[in-house]
Chains A and B, each alone.
Chain A
């Protein structure tokens, strides 16, 4: 089975956001694999292990630095990696999806996995847009996946419950937390990763002619919050004061 995972490198979840010339400054920031994409990598590895055959290819669109994230996925056990360098390109979610789809069209795949969103821009669009461009059925926000003969069944989270959806392969699924617990790369994995193929392509050479449809006009940091009211009286008094404040001041009860 040919498994492809779409992977984005993102800021570490602890990273402090600093603006420089109106843009987000990434200097000195630790970068990680987007946590949802890590679930996707793990799931692909498990499917391959379960079937006892197949290939897991990780594909990322980003800057040169994203090679680190791809190497980490290789160390987890992915077979090879592709980086599409997007430096200098005008991007929005559509353009990124067109770029990724262009690369995927040159590959073989039975199942494409991605995280349901990236924790930096949180747009939750790229995976689904890729599915649309490639004409694949999708199962979004999957917390459990079963691979069958020519089809997959995904349990997906909906409000107030779970939906079990079956689609024919090839297909695209997006991973939600709960799907699995990603493994850590082993020492052996890290050593092997160094020898695995990591192909670098320039997005500009792919002949994508989509242009951004949305534009970020401004980035700003939220206003710092005023210190709240902390009640330190004995419990019964503190509770009475809190409830009173919620009713009379905050008016939320």
Chain B
């Protein structure tokens, strides 16, 4: 195995957790683990990666890279791949990674394995048909681009160490600068992002109305959790689309997923089936969600959820 690259994902000068998860995967793959950091004023992040045992880090630091665009990231990464010839390039399967990974793959003539959830001796494991089946995919040529589902691999621990830092010359073509980011609207929420959250509390049609999501928000606040929703709750207009979990919503893999008043339709399971521990709260003992739940309570959510919030409060305070 030659070089295995971890393309760091950073936001506002901080490395995202998925970056460290990719370091873990890169070590499993073997070979020389190297990092790539792209952005503006990001040299500090490169040395940070070194503390996690990454031997060498390529840094593309340029004022024009402050704002992400597909074309700029593709330009930088594709040129670097062509020059340095890594064997495997790991990119986060985030909104950003999903956007420039296939573009880069196409430019360098590489195959891509998307949204992987496992690795076994040279092959990458990924769900297809919304988790109803899995495939093991291997490369027939290199480089290979791999996008990695967040929250699946454990984050690498600090090992100490210092990375050799190589600065990469960055220059753009006129067509790289044609896309203009007019505005970035941030959701102001103290809660974690669904796809990154360690704990998710999700509500369905059983919540009966938008006002009752307050119950789930209270629970989420105690747990530091994100709040998701089923499509029924979204279609009813109780939550925004961006919070929908499922086949036509977000794919999540938290360590704990609490499904409240959700029946567990196949399309919902498609988005949360890879959660490590699933808890269901539903008044219908026959609900499908109990078939995938590790723990469940059969009962009225309006009674159970406030009690649950209180119980967690007690536990987490003590």
Contact = CB atoms under 8 A, between A and B. Distances in A.
Interface in B95-133: 95-96, 98-99, 101-103, 105-107, 109-115, 123, 127-133
Interface of B: 11, 69-71, 74, 94-96, 98-99, 101-103, 105-107, 109-115, 123, 127-141, 144, 175, 178-187, 189, 193, 195-196, 199, 223, 241-242, 244, 247-249, 255-256, 266-267, 270, 276-280, 285, 290-300, 303-304, 307-308, 311-312, 315-316
A107 interface: no
Given A11-B129, A125-B102, A235 B304 contact: yes
B307 A236 contact: yes
Contacts of A222: 131-134
Given A97-B106, A246-B295, A177 B135 contact: no
Nearest to B281: A242
Contacts of A11: 129
Contact of B181 (A17, A93, A165): A165
Contacts of A143: 241
Nearest to A243: B311
Contacts of B189: 160
A161 interface: yes
Interface of A: 11, 13-17, 19, 24, 35-36, 92-94, 97, 116, 119-126, 128-129, 131-133, 135, 137-141, 143, 153, 156-168, 177-178, 211-222, 225, 227-232, 235-236, 238-240, 242-243, 245-247, 250, 252-253
A214 B304 contact: no
B71 A137 contact: yes
Contacts of B193: 159-160
B295 A231 contact: yes
The 5 closest A-B pairs by CB, nearest first: A213-B111, A178-B241, A214-B111, A125-B102, A132-B106
15 contacts: A14-B266, A93-B102, A121-B128, A157-B242, A159-B193, A160-B189, A162-B185, A167-B179, A212-B111, A212-B140, A219-B133, A228-B280, A229-B295, A235-B303, A245-B295
B307 to A, nearest CB: 4
A221 B133 CA distance: 5
A72 B303 CA distance: 46
A30 B171 CA distance: 50
A110 to B, nearest CB: 15
Given A131-B103, A231-B296, A157 B95 contact: yes
Contacts of B308: 239, 242-243
B178 A167 contact: yes
Contacts of B300: 235
A159 B95 contact: yes
A16 to B, nearest CB: 8
Contacts of B279: 242, 246
